[in-house]
Amino acid sequence: YNYGLPRSSTPALNKRRQGEQRICVCVRKRPLTCAESRRGEADAVTTSDRECVVINETKVALDLTQYILQHRFFFNQVFGEESSNEEVYQRTAYPLVQHMLSGGEATCFAYGQTGAGKTHTMLGSATGKPGLYELAVRDIFTHLSTSHVQNQAYVSFFEIYCGHLYDLLDHRKRLFAREDRKKAVQIAGLRTVRVESADSLLEVISQGIKERKQGTNGVNALSSRSHALLEIQLKGENLQSAGRIWFVDLAGSERASDTKDPNRQSRIEGAEINQSLLALKECIRTLDQKKQHIPFRQSKLTQVLKDSFIGDSLTCMIANISPCHLATEHTLNTLRYADRVKELTKQECLRGGNVVKIPVNTRKEIPPKKQKLVTQ
Ligand code: ADP
Ligand code: MG
């Protein structure tokens, strides 16, 4: 059922205090999986500090000596492999939920390469431990049941693949985003479901997830090549917006480098993902720089999230990383991206992932030179 409601800009109902941070950038390292441990994969990521993550990149010099490049990055929060979804939620999405419940606009992104833990963070673990979606939904309904204001919750869930929108709550129906005369972005035909309880909202989400999983085939799973956007909106008596939160499970960031893939479809997908992630970075940065112009038209992703980049909205990005030594290059790319999204605060001087070179005493065995053939 489509309520056909206009998707106008959320009024800034509760003005934030001056100087308060609007962007929170966090890193979450996942543990090595059983299979990785069995293979003897090395763990290249250290998270001993709450705000600092260190990547140990092993390199071989021209003289074949080994050395380690230690890349150090600083973020608002760094979660190690021991952190639970509950802990991550409390420190990332919980403040966004509170902001949304008081009428604000908030967006939570899961960024990272495929297999780094985005879906685990958003959706929960295979053993049934809830993810950010569920923890947020439970808090929203606890608030609604105790609040004297009669707000209703609405949910929509869709996917962006190759610049096209598909409704996950309506058999993947193709959708079209347009700007109306007031410059508000509308998604024509998007199914928006009114929900009365946390359980019914979670049921709607799981229907959408089932739809998303279809078409999955191993490493090339569609879910790694598309962005999934879950929107939970509160509406007051006259159906005016009374708060909104987005949860965005982004396409695998490594796909952005598929632009040179010999397979034409992968190249198109890669270019599209690259474009949307770059546009996202630019749009989030305008939140911080108080720029008048937001380059949201550069991708479908940023177009539909337009309201998230204006007003008093709050943004949280969780950059998920794999501990694997073999994934170091992608991990560094993820951290560099997250680093650019970071708000320009006193930590600015710590931007860029400063690098320390550490020699390793083991000299790599030099392969024997080819013997010259001596003719007698
Ligand atoms: P992505 O969505 O980024 O492709 P997944 O969330 O599917 O990655 O994670 C890949 C694998 O790692 C899954 O088997 C998942 O269960 C596991 N995993 C990810 N994050 C964690 C974590 N924090 N703790 C335990 N296992 C995790
Ligand atoms: Mg995933």
pLDDT by residue for the chain (376 residues), tens only, comes to: 221 223 333 333 334 444 567 899 999 999 999 999 999 999 999 998 899 999 999 888 888 888 999 999 999 999 999 999 999 999 999 999 999 999 999 999 999 999 999 999 999 987 889 999 999 999 999 999 998 888 999 999 999 999 999 999 999 999 999 988 888 889 999 999 999 999 999 999 999 999 887 644 444 567 789 999 999 999 998 888 889 999 999 999 998 887 777 888 888 888 899 999 999 999 998 877 766 788 899 999 999 999 888 878 999 999 999 999 999 999 999 999 999 998 765 455 455 567 777 776 554 544 555 545 444 4
Q: What is the pLDDT of residue 221?
A: 67
The closest residue, in CA terms, to atom 23 on ligand 1 is 30
Q: What is the pLDDT of residue 131?
A: 97
* Residue of 317, 302, 312 whose CA lies nearest to 105: 312
Ligand nearest to the CA of 255: 1
Any ligand 1 atom below 6 A from CB of 112: yes
Q: What is the pLDDT of residue 13?
A: 32
Any ligand 1 atom below 6 A from CB of 186: no
* Two tokens, residue 264: 């034409």
Torsions phi, psi for 136 (to 5 deg): -70, -45
Q: What is the pLDDT of residue 238?
A: 83
Torsions phi, psi for 223 (to 5 deg): -65, -20
* Two tokens, residue 42: 């090395």
DSSP E strand stretches across 126-179: 152-161, 164-167, 173-179
Helix axes 264-289, 328-341, angle to 10 degrees: 30
* Residue of 230, 233, 168 whose CA lies nearest to 6: 233
Ligand nearest to the CA of 121: 1
Nearest 5°: CA angle at 231, between 156 and 77?
Answer: 155
C-alpha to C-alpha distances, 245 to 7, 106, 222, 326, nearest whole angstrom: 13, 5, 24, 35
Q: What is the pLDDT of residue 220?
A: 53
Q: Tell me the CA–centroid distance for residue 180 and ligand 2, in Å.
A: 33
> Model-level pTM?
0.88
Q: What is the pLDDT of residue 208?
A: 95
Reduced to 3 states (helix: H, G, I; strand: E, B; else coil), residue 355 is strand
Q: What is the pLDDT of residue 2?
A: 23
Nearest 5°: CA angle at 246, between 242 and 247?
Answer: 150
Any ligand 1 atom below 6 A from CB of 212: no
Write down the residue that tokens 């359980």 correspond to: 199
* Residue of 78, 124, 34, 133 whose CA lies nearest to 321: 78
The answer to whether the beta carbons of residues 283 and 302 sit under 8 Å apart is yes
Any ligand 1 atom below 6 A from CB of 10: no
Atom index in ligand 1 nearest the CA of residue 320 equals: 3
Atom index in ligand 1 nearest the CA of residue 249 equals: 2
* Two tokens, residue 208: 């959408």
Helix axes 198-213, 132-146, angle to 10 degrees: 160
Any ligand 1 atom below 6 A from CB of 31: yes
Q: Which of 78, 111, 120, 334 to mutate to test the pocket of ligand 1 (most atoms within 8 A of CB)?
A: 120
Q: What is the pLDDT of residue 376?
A: 42
The answer to whether the beta carbons of residues 323 and 59 sit under 8 Å apart is no
Any ligand 1 atom below 6 A from CB of 80: no
Annotated binding site for ATP: 112-119
Q: Which of 26, 28, 29, 30 to mutate to test the pocket of ligand 1 (most atoms within 8 A of CB)?
A: 30
Any ligand 1 atom below 6 A from CB of 29: no
Q: What is the pLDDT of residue 217?
A: 45
Q: What is the ipTM of this complex?
A: 0.99
The closest residue, in CA terms, to atom 10 on ligand 1 is 115
Atom index in ligand 1 nearest the CA of residue 110 equals: 3
Q: Is 232 exposed, middle or buried (0-12, 13-18, 19+ CB in 10 A)?
A: buried
